[in-house]
Amino acid sequence: MRNGDYSPNRFQAQADAVNLICGAKTQSNPENTVGVLTMAGKGVRVLVTPTSDLGKILACMHAAPEQTPGACAPLSLGARLSKTPRLGGYEARGPAPCLEIGGEMNLAAGIQVAQLALKHRQNKKQQQRIIVFAGSPVKYDKKVLELIGRKLKKNSVALDIVSFGEEDEEKNEKLEALLAAVNNNDSSHIVHVPSGPSALSDVLISTAIFTGDGEGGSGFAAAAAASGFEFGVDPNLDPELALALRVSMEEERARQEAAAKKAAEEASKQEKGEQQSTSQDATMTENVNPGTSEPEKKTHDLTDDENALLQQALAMSMDDSSSTVAVRDTDMSDASADDHDLQLDRFILPHQLPVDLFMVVEALCCLLENQTLYEHRSRLAIPLQLSVQESAAEQSNQTDVNKLLADQSFVSSILTSLPGVDPNDPHVKDLLASMQSQSEQSKEEDKTPKEEENKSSILYTVLRGVQAGGACNGI
């Protein structure tokens, strides 16, 4: 179960698949209940009694596997479910136990305990189904398994088998025999998942285990696999979040390009070909176009190579491992680039807009929307915060801030493109003048804390100024 033949390891792949299936089942019918039990380790153990609360199931599956000393053969997980109409809810009691890897898989006992647990379900009208994840060798005879299968069929319990792990002819034979004994009218299925690059969950999505239940399963699976939106966030639902993610991606990309350019210059002395940025993101495939790194105004049209970098920055902000980033890569490779549904669509940011100025701009935006900065901020995702912190740590940006702030034309261009702000407004003009004087003052002093202070005072001034300006314009 610790093998890496399924990425990242068998146990984790199995856990992901279980989470996916549980989610699909609970979503397809609100009265479905799902429970989980384990078959190996110290013995068959029910982790979660059938419940319609997906949170409990996920919490239980999330518990990290601990290593038991001298553990031999792998652990297998049997998931058992009940289906369709159900009244009320059934709550699992007690804390979620940890998942340990160790011992041998006890298939027969696992199935029998699952059957017993299903028998004692609260709503007798529900249909019964057991899903078995068999990643280990099966130590029972074919005859025993057939007997169990017939008993399940007699009590009209359906059985789905997910067979993965070592390729074993005997195991396949036994599982096929079990399925044949249980199968009644094609209500039971078996899936063999060979080891390989594609994740266990992805293979399962397309199988009858998901689609065999009908409408609900496939809908959920489609949503889970690839939302079709950039970053998996629907701009219609959360435009600020989508904007924030997009902007942080752009900033990151700009930074990457600057780094890449530097590296390219060095590398061109030794070899031809461009060096890519950090080693951490070795899985990313990027075609960086250095020609586009000028700080000119751009629209929000994103090409495919930009997508790659966008995801990279997103991944870095989210502190994810490189493997999951790779997955997102494949999912979003065909995401549409145009996104004109954003509220602040016509708000154009130059590529090298440093972070602090972005904060200023953000403050302006939320003022115009009549929100407090806190409210606005709280709706933005953590990625934005992290990316802000990361790039804010870079020294090179800080000096840029003052330059840009001092550039009155630049600031006024920003302000003009904001809805509701009139640059000829006396308040705004005063504001710009005060900003310029303040930034000149800060240039003379070299200390970082002072700069920060000045920046925040600039921010505050801008806020006040726009607020006054806004009041004048009758916002």
Partner 1 sequence: MACLHDHSCEEHDCSSDWSLYKHIDLSKVSALNEAVSGSVKSVFRAWEHRLNSSEGHLESNEGDPELIVFIPFTSDVKIKSISVVGGADGTSPAKMRAFINREGIDFSDAQNMQPLQEWDLMENLQGDLEYQTRYSKFQSVGNITLHFSDNLGGDTTQIHYIGLKGEATQLKRDVVATIVYELMPNPSDHKTRSETGGGLSQVE
User: At a CB cut-off of 8 Å and minimum separation 6, what does 465 contact?
Assistant: 427, 428, 430, 431, 434
Shortest CB 378 distance to partner 1, Å: 22
- The one segment of 153-161, 338-346, 348-356, 384-392 that binds partner 1 by CB under 8 A: 153-161
* 30 binding partner 1? (CB under 8 A): no
- Residue ranges in 178-197 that form contacts with partner 1 under rule CB under 8 A: 184-185
Cβ-based nearer residue to partner 1, 180 or 433: 180
* 83 binding partner 1? (CB under 8 A): no
* 119 binding partner 1? (CB under 8 A): yes
Shortest CB 51 distance to partner 1, Å: 17
Pair of tokens at residue 246: 């997009």
- b/e per residue 61-80 (b: at least 16 CB within 10 A): beeebeeeeebebbbbbbbb
Pair of tokens at residue 132: 């078995």
Shortest CB 123 distance to partner 1, Å: 9
Shortest CB 200 distance to partner 1, Å: 31
What are the distances in angstroms from CA 270 to CA 263, 266, 286, 288, 290?
Answer: 11, 7, 21, 20, 19
Residue from 10, 86, 153, 246 touching partner 1 (CB under 8 A): that is 153
Cβ-based nearer residue to partner 1, 119 or 340: 119
H or E stretch covering 446: none
Shortest CB 102 distance to partner 1, Å: 32
Cβ-based nearer residue to partner 1, 122 or 434: 122
* Residue ranges with strand state E in 1-151: 33-38, 45-51, 66-67, 77-83, 100-101, 127-134
- The one segment of 35-43, 151-159, 299-307, 319-327 that binds partner 1 by CB under 8 A: 151-159
d(CA 142, CA 195): 25
d(CA 459, CA 138): 67
- Find residue 134's DSSP bridge partners: 163
Shortest CB 361 distance to partner 1, Å: 37
Cβ-based nearer residue to partner 1, 25 or 86: 86
* 324 binding partner 1? (CB under 8 A): no
Q: Please tell me what DSSP assigns to residue 3.
A: -
Pair of tokens at residue 205: 């999505």
- The one segment of 30-38, 147-155, 164-172, 221-229 that binds partner 1 by CB under 8 A: 147-155
d(CA 207, CA 169): 22
d(CA 465, CA 431): 6
- The one segment of 40-48, 152-160, 248-256, 363-371 that binds partner 1 by CB under 8 A: 152-160
Cβ-based nearer residue to partner 1, 156 or 287: 156
CB atoms within 10 A of CB 333: 13
User: At a CB cut-off of 8 Å and minimum separation 6, what does 156 contact?
Assistant: 127, 128, 184
* 155 binding partner 1? (CB under 8 A): yes
Residue from 2, 42, 62, 154 touching partner 1 (CB under 8 A): that is 154
Shortest CB 150 distance to partner 1, Å: 8
Shortest CB 146 distance to partner 1, Å: 12
User: At a CB cut-off of 8 Å and minimum separation 6, what does 169 contact?
Assistant: none
Q: Which residues bind partner 1 (CB under 8 A)?
A: 87, 119, 124-125, 150, 153-156, 184-185
